[in-house]
Amino acid sequence: MVQRSVTIGLAHGLHARPAAELARLAQAVEGRLLIRAGERAVDAASVLAVMDLALGAGDRVVLEAEGSGAEATLDEAEALLAPR
Protein backbone atom coordinates (compact mmCIF):
# COMPACT_ATOMS: atom_id res chain seq x y z
CA MET A 1 0.00 0.00 0.00
CA VAL A 2 1.26 3.46 -0.93
CA GLN A 3 0.37 6.53 1.14
CA ARG A 4 0.43 10.25 0.53
CA SER A 5 -0.49 13.17 2.78
CA VAL A 6 -2.62 15.83 1.08
CA THR A 7 -4.10 19.14 2.22
CA ILE A 8 -7.61 19.78 0.88
CA GLY A 9 -7.17 22.71 -1.48
CA LEU A 10 -10.79 23.11 -2.55
CA ALA A 11 -12.21 26.48 -1.48
CA HIS A 12 -15.53 24.92 -0.44
CA GLY A 13 -14.07 21.72 0.97
CA LEU A 14 -14.79 18.20 -0.18
CA HIS A 15 -18.45 18.67 -1.14
CA ALA A 16 -20.67 16.54 -3.39
CA ARG A 17 -19.09 17.21 -6.79
CA PRO A 18 -15.44 16.52 -5.90
CA ALA A 19 -16.53 13.60 -3.69
CA ALA A 20 -18.33 12.10 -6.70
CA GLU A 21 -15.26 12.65 -8.91
CA LEU A 22 -13.06 10.95 -6.31
CA ALA A 23 -15.52 8.04 -6.08
CA ARG A 24 -15.52 7.64 -9.88
CA LEU A 25 -11.73 7.52 -9.82
CA ALA A 26 -11.71 4.96 -7.01
CA GLN A 27 -14.23 2.78 -8.83
CA ALA A 28 -12.28 2.94 -12.10
CA VAL A 29 -8.88 1.87 -10.81
CA GLU A 30 -7.59 -1.58 -10.06
CA GLY A 31 -7.12 -2.00 -6.32
CA ARG A 32 -8.42 0.14 -3.50
CA LEU A 33 -8.27 3.83 -2.66
CA LEU A 34 -8.82 4.90 0.93
CA ILE A 35 -9.01 8.37 2.42
CA ARG A 36 -7.97 8.72 6.06
CA ALA A 37 -8.86 11.70 8.24
CA GLY A 38 -7.63 11.35 11.80
CA GLU A 39 -8.61 7.91 13.07
CA ARG A 40 -11.25 7.36 10.36
CA ALA A 41 -10.50 5.70 7.05
CA VAL A 42 -13.16 5.26 4.38
CA ASP A 43 -13.33 3.68 0.95
CA ALA A 44 -13.06 6.54 -1.54
CA ALA A 45 -15.42 4.65 -3.87
CA SER A 46 -18.32 5.63 -1.58
CA VAL A 47 -19.50 9.21 -2.10
CA LEU A 48 -21.49 9.16 1.14
CA ALA A 49 -18.58 7.83 3.19
CA VAL A 50 -16.26 10.49 1.78
CA MET A 51 -18.79 13.27 2.41
CA ASP A 52 -19.37 11.98 5.95
CA LEU A 53 -15.77 12.93 6.75
CA ALA A 54 -16.92 16.59 6.41
CA LEU A 55 -13.55 17.76 5.12
CA GLY A 56 -13.02 21.47 4.68
CA ALA A 57 -10.40 23.58 2.95
CA GLY A 58 -7.06 23.19 4.69
CA ASP A 59 -7.86 19.84 6.32
CA ARG A 60 -5.09 17.22 6.05
CA VAL A 61 -5.85 13.69 4.89
CA VAL A 62 -3.83 10.61 4.03
CA LEU A 63 -4.61 8.86 0.76
CA GLU A 64 -3.82 5.15 0.61
CA ALA A 65 -3.81 3.19 -2.64
CA GLU A 66 -3.01 -0.41 -3.43
CA GLY A 67 -2.80 -2.43 -6.59
CA SER A 68 -1.06 -1.83 -9.86
CA GLY A 69 -0.78 1.85 -10.66
CA ALA A 70 -1.10 2.93 -7.03
CA GLU A 71 1.22 5.93 -7.50
CA ALA A 72 -0.74 7.11 -10.55
CA THR A 73 -3.98 6.71 -8.59
CA LEU A 74 -2.57 8.89 -5.82
CA ASP A 75 -1.47 11.48 -8.39
CA GLU A 76 -5.00 11.68 -9.81
CA ALA A 77 -6.64 11.77 -6.38
CA GLU A 78 -4.29 14.52 -5.21
CA ALA A 79 -5.07 16.55 -8.34
CA LEU A 80 -8.78 16.35 -7.47
CA LEU A 81 -8.34 17.29 -3.80
CA ALA A 82 -5.56 19.87 -4.12
CA PRO A 83 -5.76 21.41 -7.58
CA ARG A 84 -2.87 23.67 -8.51
Of the listed 12, 15, 17, 60, which one is catalytic? 15
Which helix (H) or strand (E) segment is 49 a member of? helix 47-52
- Whether residue 12 lies in the annotated active site: no
Q: How far apart are CA 55 and CA 35, in angstroms?
A: 11
Q: How far apart are CA 29 and CA 81, in angstroms?
A: 17
Residues with a known catalytic role: 15
